[in-house]
């Protein structure tokens, strides 16, 4: 394989708008395969395409590009019920596969994810941490043992290494990494680009691009430290207040970008592209703009400040929820 292998990762606490960036890259770059890495159905991605909003937890967000094969890598925890519902709702039967090595999340894992430690961390309650524990102690059931999944089981590394253009979707965000984030208030796994590559079975030398996504302000769901946090009332006034896709919990908001964290994330992810989302929320006059030159002056200054602090070009800029509301400066 491998003329082109792009990994998309989150640079903050998840919910950076990866789904939106991925949907653009899928439609624009036309990958043969879109493969999902990351933790599991604790992720919630929203994609808006042709006026319809799709909420996804298991299926790759790039599914709106209907020529791509969709794969779920070995490292991803799969909730069979959530997966089968999404396959049906998003009509991707026939082009989606699950790696034969994936761990299955069972009811007991979801039950265990409601205990005291889960409450302390503020987990999503989706069973990911407990399922990961069973994998590590080598007692977990694999998806290949679940009869309802039989027709989807495949060998993801074989497929991705045989194709010329692959898009790898990361989930969660850098600051939720069990290694590099705000431990113990983190998810159950590393969330950096290297792990996303390993999740789908691609070696580091084959990765050509790493796109790190950050929102124009910062949000976090669940507990843990969060510099510059403002009240829900203030976030509502600013138009920043968001609610979780999976849990519907109100997200915590900070007006600022946390540059020290972002710099560490750039280094560990080896990001060569930054994508900034929700620029239109911070600068309403940027809404719907698709050419950089047409952005308002303050919005351009904001982008240039990010570039000078992170020393990585901001090549993708989200200016609205729809997959087409984007500035793509990669060609220049
Ligand atoms: P868990 O991943 O469900 O164990 O939750 C651990 C922490 O990660 C909690 O603070 C969750 O809110 C957070 N988290 C996990 N997945 C996501 C995500 O996709 N977006 C945002 N926060 C997440
Ligand atoms: Mg999300």
Residue 301: its pLDDT value, please?
Answer: 98
Most informative mutation of 180, 222, 244 for ligand 1 (most atoms within 8 A of CB): 222
Across 199-221, average pLDDT? 98
49 among known catalytic residues = no
Region 61-77: mean pLDDT is: 98
Query: Is 124 near ligand 1, meaning CB less than 6 Å away?
Result: yes
For residue range 229-257, list pLDDT tens digits in order: 999 999 999 999 999 888 889 999 999 99
- The full length of the chain comes to 332
Residue 96 pLDDT: 98
Residue 184: name the closest of 103, 250, 145, 129 by CA: 129
User: For atom 5 of ligand 1, which residue has the closest CA?
Assistant: 123
For residue 139, the domain's CATH number is 3.40.440.10
Give the nearest ligand 1 atom to 221 CA.
12
- Confidence check: pLDDT of 203 > 80: yes
Mean pLDDT of 212-233: 97
pLDDT computed for residue 247 by the predictor: 86
* Contact 122 CB / ligand 1 (< 6 Å): yes
15 is catalytic: yes
Structure tokens at 74: 């070995």
Name the band, by pLDDT with cuts 50, 70 and 90, for residue 69: very high
Nearest to 161 by CA among 136, 197, 131, 193: 197
Residue nearest to atom 21 of ligand 1 (CA): 14
| Ligand 1 atom with the shortest distance to the CA of 15 | 20
- Number of folded domains that form the chain: 1
List, in order, residues 6 or more apart from 149 with CB less than 8 Å away.
78, 80, 83, 84, 98, 104, 143
Per-residue model confidence (pLDDT) at position 156: 98
42 lines ligand 1 (CB under 6 A): yes
Distance set, CA 229 to CA 19, 226, 264, 265, 276 (Å) = 24, 6, 20, 20, 20
* Residue labelled with tokens 């770059």: 29
pLDDT at residue 332 in the model: 62
Domain around 165 = 4-328
**Average pLDDT rounded to a whole number, residues 141-169:** 98
The whole-number pLDDT of residue 1 equals 47
The 10s digit of each residue's pLDDT in 127-136 is: 999 999 999 9
Residue range 75-89: mean pLDDT, rounded: 98
Q: Which pLDDT does position 58 carry in this prediction?
A: 98
pLDDT at 185 over 90: yes
Q: Is pLDDT at 331 greater than 80 in this prediction?
A: no
Residue 205 has pLDDT above 80, yes or no: yes
Q: Report, as an integer, the average pLDDT of 191-218.
A: 98
The fraction of the chain above a pLDDT of 90, given in percent, is 96
């Amino acid at each position: 394989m491998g003329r082109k292998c792009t990994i998309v990762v989150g640079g903050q606490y998840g919910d950076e708008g990866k789904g939106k960036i991925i949907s653009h890259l899928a439609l624009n770059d036309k990958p043969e395969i879109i493969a999902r890495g990351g933790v599991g159905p604790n992720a919630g991605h929203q994609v808006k395409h042709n006026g319809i909003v799709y909420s996804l937890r298991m299926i790759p967000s790039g599914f709106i590009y209907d020529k791509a094969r969709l794969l779920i890598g070995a490292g991803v925890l799969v909730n069979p019920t959530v997966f089968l519902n999404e396959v049906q709702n998003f009509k991707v039967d026939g082009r989606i596969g699950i790696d034969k090595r994936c761990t299955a999340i069972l009811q007991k894992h979801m039950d265990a994810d409601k205990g005291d430690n889960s409450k302390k961390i503020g987990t999503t309650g989706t069973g990911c941490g407990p399922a990961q524990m069973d994998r590590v102690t080598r007692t977990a059931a694999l998806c290949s043992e679940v009869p309802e999944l039989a027709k989807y089981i495949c060998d993801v590394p074989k497929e991705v290494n045989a194709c010329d253009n692959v898009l790898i979707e990361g989930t969660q965000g850098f600051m939720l990494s069990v290694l590099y984030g705000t431990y113990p208030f983190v998810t159950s796994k590393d969330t950096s680009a290297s792990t996303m590559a390993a999740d789908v079975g691609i070696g580091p030398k084959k990765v050509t691009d790493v796109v790190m996504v950050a929102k124009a302000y910062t949000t976090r769901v669940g507990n843990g430290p969060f510099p510059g946090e403002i009240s829900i009332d203030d976030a509502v006034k600013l138009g920043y207040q968001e609610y979780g896709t999976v849990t519907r919990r109100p997200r915590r908001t900070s007006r600022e970008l946390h540059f020290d964290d972002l710099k560490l994330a750039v280094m560990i992810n080896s990001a060569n592209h930054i994508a900034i989302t929700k620029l239109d929320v911070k600068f309403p006059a940027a809404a719907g703009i698709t050419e950089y030159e047409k952005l308002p002056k303050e919005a351009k200054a904001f982008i240039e400040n990010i570039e000078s602090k992170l020393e990585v070009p901001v090549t993708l800029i989200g200016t609205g929820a729809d997959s087409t509301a984007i500035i793509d400066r990669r060609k220049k």
